[in-house]
Chains A and B, each alone.
Chain A
Amino acid sequence: MSGTAFQKIYTHITHITKATCTLKATGVGNEELALVHGRLAQVVKIMGDQVTLQVFAGTEGIPSNAEVVFFNRPPALKVSEDLAGRFFNAYGDPIDGGPAVEGEEREIGGPSVNPVRRRQPSELIATGIAGIDLNNSLVTGQKIPFFADPDQPFNQVMAMVALRAKADKIILGGMGLTNDDYLYYKNVFENAGALDRIISFVNTTEDPPVERLLVPDMALTAAEYFAVDKNEKVLVLLTDMTLYADALSIVSNRMDQIPSKDSMPGSLYSDLAKIYEKAVQFPSGGSITIIAVTTLSGGDITHAIPDNTGYITEGQLFLRRDTDIGKVIVDPFRSLSRLKQLVIGKKTREDHPQVMNAAVRLYADAANAKTKLENGFDLTDYDQRTLKFAKEYSDKLLAIDVNIDTERMLDTAWELFARHFSQAEVGIKKEFVDKYWPKN
């Protein structure tokens, strides 16, 4: 990124903090880009002729007489079909050794979709993972995060979902990704022969944290190009949004803003919503679906980051290690896909909603029985049966290594019901019981 000829060069910076610097300048627009001492920066505040810039790479070593050049435009990305298969940094510059992408220049962080122009999401995204397809079906145009502890295999599950999801383009926005995880994604996509439909914008832990703030907007600008201009189904993976929010709090802190809950800026909700609400089903058939990762500290979902995220996204997915079967499962209690009602029993078999609910209810009964057992109480015959059911349910359906279609999942659930329970205990609408209860 460079400026054009005949630009005014400023050389007198009056304030420098760790992330921002302030100088006297005129004719500068809000959110405009600038180059400070060779580093990219963006206008975040203007007071009369005092302009404050946020320097993405940090201000270490910037002298008060550094050269400052304004670009007269906000951050942008050049979009074209050539983006496919490429890896970029947070500024949209290639990091894979290839040439710069030519194409139409689009401002990042553009306007929102008019709500009345949206279409209701109605297309199921099948992943083969029953913990998702059966209990928490995903839909195109949805936005949903994994709430995971840092040690959980969320990157693996996300890569699996991305490859199985039959999207036209997969866009990875990596924020504070470790180099190992970055290479993992790269390998998985390469091995699957899927590189030509993958675009990555990556900020690794080696890069300055404030740069991360550009990653989601870059990824979503590319997504909008393919979904709107090319009518494609685009899946955007954002990992890890907690590190994104941390970068927000760094900047707001440097700007002396009053923090709200958990030292996060008061605008956290709006900041996150602007990103997640880019998920949309367009009338012309294209769509943007966002699957994100929000890492938790010690499983605490009341922290401001997961809490605000939960209010924005359409559900959340939790992973948990089930010690009874020794596998990682998608937790049926805490996971939720809000848009599943739009497809289950409509795009999938009619008995789907009731089977799903009955299985989760029985699984909950098993959890109660387990508590009883741990407290040293005798178990009833029903309790014993729920425990047996829970183990099989976990192994055959909830485990993330399961890969079967939805019909097969439903049949499996009915088999488990019939093996362990009476029809009254399962409590499903009679017409479905008559139709699907295994006959032998």
Chain B
Amino acid sequence: MGTSEIPAEPQRVVVLDTDKIDTALSLGITPVGAARASESELPSYLGDLSGVTVVGTTAEPDLEAIESLEPDLILGSKFRQEAFYDELNAIAPTVFTELVGLTWKENFLLDGDALGKADEAAQLLADYEARAGEIGASLGEAVGTEVSLVRFMPDQIRYYGPDSFSGIVLGDTGLARPELQQLNGAEDRRFAEVSAEEIDTLGGDVIFYCAYGDDGDAQLAEYTSGELWQSIPAVQSGAAHQVDDEIWMTGIGVSAAGLILDDLETYLSA
């Protein structure tokens, strides 16, 4: 999009996508402002964010609110805020990452660099990857357990593939995935939709499921109480676990990844 002169140690950072809230706080920087996802508030898994001003949604940031915070660095996603680049860059040096999710590790390193903490970011990522590897190794034979990822959206049900954020974390541990959910041969291997009548075909020895927003919660409640869901072997054996959507799906960052590893330890090591 252009080049920006950014301060060596930015003090007042505004973040415009959910992954960047995780990035900033993982590196010990509390942003002065953050955009929220359209269906939810700022994430709660990162602790107390009451000092962070909400500056609109990720799709429609509130430019004047951002300006009045007098930031010295703005982090955003080209993907979401491309139209606002000129205005944002007039307010403060703006750094955009290209994609969300798929390239979360590269984004973390780039954003870490922009925040003046390239070394810390590289170290945090290396620590996470080492821990993921250890968890995989400690599982022994159980690493062959097929893990299913299901998410209830307001208007559809999705399963998540190896290129999604949580799919990448599972991959780092070496855990197996059901055949269907590997999305082999698909162009987009992040996620795919499944019909409500076929949720018993998703496979998996263990299921982690979550819901996006209030409407997603309603969908989750409706389907998981239904006969079809109850007939799934993993559900019958008590191996289906509801997890936090903010951590597994919208979180996207090294802190969220660490919390996913915590969940895996809790539910798989027994």
Are A and B bound to each other? no
